[in-house]
Amino acid sequence: MNKTLRILCWVLIGGLGAVAVGAIALHRGEPINALWLVAAATCCYALGYRFYSRFIATKILALDGLRATPAERMENGRDFLVTNKWVVFGHHFAAIAGPGPLVGPVLAAQCGYLPGTLWVLAGAVFAGCVQDFVILLFSVRRDGKSLTEMAKDEVGVIGGFVAYVAVIAILIILLGVAALIVVNALKASPWGTFTIAMTMPIALLMGVYLRRIRPGKVLEVSALGFVLVMVAIWGGQYVSQNAALAQVFTFSAPTLAILIMVYGFAASALPVWLLLAPRDYLSTFVKLGTIALLGIGIVALHPTLNMPALTRFVDGTGPVFAGKIFPFAFITIACGAISGFHALISSGTTPKLIARETETRMVGYGAMMAESAVAVMAIIAASVMQPGVYFAINSPAGIVGQAPVTAAATISSWGFPVTTAQMQALAHAVGEQTLYNRTGGAPAFAVGMAHIFSHTLGGETLMALWYHFAIMFEALFILTILDAGTRVARFMVQDALGHLYRPLGRTSWYPSILATSALIVAAWGYFLWQGVKDPLGGINSLWPLFGISNQLLATVALCVATTIIVKMHRAKYASVTLVPLAWLVAVTFTASWHKMFDPNPRVGFLAQARVLAAAPGPMTSATARVIFNNRLDAAVTGILVVMVTLVLVESARQWRGILSGAREARIKESPFVRTRLAEERG
């Protein structure tokens, strides 16, 4: 393509993007088509990738295709392995894509589709993709070192320690919140619970197939497992219609919470790969397939968004989460815009597979764009519902009332009409007794996804099957994260305890395995239990806590990245990481302040504790527990903020020292070795 045509092409993409973003931002009063969001996202990603990531790659990072990567220099056929860039891209995307980009945008839709969409697009292009890209490249240049190791080497011992503690903290809070989402999705739902229960024998069958019948044929057995899960979903309707069977699979939230904790402990402490490994594969298979299907469904159906661009809840009085649009919308959506957790993946397996430095742009920046696209799909899924239905599903009983009539009247009084008959019909269509008070985002996403799928494939008659497919997809996904996360946290704690008493660090020593597994499960189980018992549904307190800790980890990652850029004598370009860092500091510190000290008891932990403590009459043990939990949440938030402040101060001292010439800019990269691959490839 000649130069003029190329320029014309990019001008057209820019123009279309501007029109699409303008249409989303300025359209008021009437519903808009989802294709506007698709067009805006596609153009923003194309422009961001072509121009911004290229600018970072050439001007700041100076990617060098002749420099051998650790995959080449340290190739061992196991961790370090030269791999095709598209394969690494797929691998990296499969590792970073979790329930976060699906749940966060659904919750944030209470403010309307506009704030979430703008944050997902701008956040990804200017912050999330940049973070993933630079951390990946810096890890590649340091033999695949982890974020905590890089923080220790480049920022200082405090940086390393804080990164380590932040990772453990975020894991524990994440696991507690993720488990709560599953509990809220499966409580009083025999169909959903039966389907998830059936994944256990299916996984065992897959394990036997892999071990005895066709060793190593994972793709084949995953496809077989997928077919069996679909049969289980289909069979679930008969379970829910049979009174005796339905009773067996109907659990209350506390019972489900206990079952999930037992599962988490067993998965971490017992050698159960026969169950876990196949389920992990099945989960990945379903995840990739569903995301692809949802994308196709949205483009094929191009539904109308019934949610307004902005709702009245931008003022902070929303039922899904309390707090104003700034900062709370920006911590509610983490993974679709920027997620600190991605920095762990970008400095984990992926840098050990990269064949050439130049490929980090596509893998790091590109995979995060794909993740952001998943978040846009989640916004669309949440926004296709009538707003009244969305709020009926996502509002806790503590706000809208337990009785359907009261809930419908309260939600209608907000200006989002919904009737009990409408909700009853929807619950019936998806095969549930009720859809009220299903907080957590997963059921709302499932309803939206079922709506899109049923209009594309199978019609209204398959609505219930699609709904339970979506619930199964999310629950399976989250349970895999629960067992993997508990094991990762267990290993991290064992590594630390090994410094105090050597046998505790041995990952095969059973007393240590049992003790550390119990410790980790107790930690996230505590948050789960707190959420289950919370009269406001739990998500209102726990999701912001998760968002804050995840974004604080991103703050640490951006501190590390900025320090390295300054040390590389590229300080004049440091704004590419410094601006997102400043934004995240503003967002997370403001959100933390509100969560701790806001006088509104729906927002501030301490205010809620004060209100409960001042209530007239004798204090019940349940009230005392809620008061303690609120104070604990405030303390956790405060500790995280103090730790990240220490990293910021330590980083700023480094930058000032280097820029003033008082400190030597010494970066700890591995030495340059010329690649052999360039000659081999010509």
Partner 1 sequence: MKVRNAICYFARTMLAALREIFDEAAYTRFLNRTGMLSSGEAYAAFRREFEEGKARRPKCC
**Alpha-carbon dihedral of residues 23, 25, 31, 36, nearest 10 degrees?**
50
Cβ proximity of 286 and 473 under 8 Å: yes
> Residue 354 forms beta bridges with which residues?
83
Q: How many CB atoms lie within 10 A of CB 500?
A: 8
Q: Containing H/E element for 33?
A: strand 32-33
Among 45, 191, 321, 546, binds partner 1 (CB under 8 A): 546
Structural tokens at position 341: 């957790």
d(CA 33, CA 282): 34
Residues 584-603 that bind partner 1 (CB under 8 A): none
Residues 268-307 that bind partner 1 (CB under 8 A): 273, 277, 281, 284-285, 288
d(CA 420, CA 228): 36
d(CA 499, CA 504): 8
Among 2, 5, 77, 614, binds partner 1 (CB under 8 A): 77
Q: Judged by CB under 8 A, which stretch of 206-214, 416-424, 449-457, 672-680 contacts partner 1?
A: 206-214
Nearest CA to 372 out of 35, 118, 27, 53 is that of 118
> Residue 304 forms beta bridges with which residues?
33
Q: If you ran DSSP here, which 8-state letter would residue 144 be given? A: T
d(CA 318, CA 602): 10
CB of 305 to partner 1, least distance (A): 26
d(CA 241, CA 345): 43
Q: Judged by CB under 8 A, which stretch of 87-95, 426-434, 537-545, 657-665 contacts partner 1?
A: 87-95
Cβ proximity of 23 and 43 under 8 Å: no
Q: Is residue 145 a contact residue for partner 1 (CB under 8 A)?
A: no
Binding mask 151-170 for partner 1 (x = CB under 8 A): ----------------x---
Q: Judged by CB under 8 A, which stretch of 8-16, 153-161, 333-341, 518-526 contacts partner 1?
A: 333-341
Q: Judged by CB under 8 A, which stretch of 91-99, 106-114, 150-158, 389-397 contacts partner 1?
A: 91-99
Q: Is residue 569 a contact residue for partner 1 (CB under 8 A)?
A: no
Binding mask 345-384 for partner 1 (x = CB under 8 A): x--xx-----------------------------------
Among 39, 40, 56, 81, binds partner 1 (CB under 8 A): 81
CB of 538 to partner 1, least distance (A): 17
CB of 349 to partner 1, least distance (A): 6
CB of 519 to partner 1, least distance (A): 17
| 3-class DSSP assignment, residue 242 | coil
For partner 1, the closer CB: 349 or 358: 349
Structural tokens at position 286: 């379903």
Query: Would you say the C-alpha torsion 33, 39, 42, 43 has a positive or negative sign?
Result: negative
d(CA 374, CA 105): 10
Q: Judged by CB under 8 A, which stretch of 212-220, 509-517, 599-607, 647-655 contacts partner 1?
A: 212-220
Among 28, 50, 59, 211, binds partner 1 (CB under 8 A): 211
Residue type, 353: L
Among 14, 31, 90, 638, binds partner 1 (CB under 8 A): 90
Q: Judged by CB under 8 A, which stretch of 17-25, 306-314, 485-493, 636-644 contacts partner 1?
A: 485-493
Q: How far is CA 70 from the centre of its chain?
A: 29
CB of 215 to partner 1, least distance (A): 4
Q: β-strand 32-33 against 304-305: which pairing, if any?
A: antiparallel
Please report, as ranges, the residues that interact with partner 1 according to CB under 8 A: 77-79, 81, 83-84, 86-91, 94-100, 167, 171, 174, 178, 210-212, 215-219, 222, 273, 277, 281, 284-285, 288, 334-335, 339, 341-342, 344-345, 348-349, 480-481, 484-485, 487-488, 491, 507, 546, 550
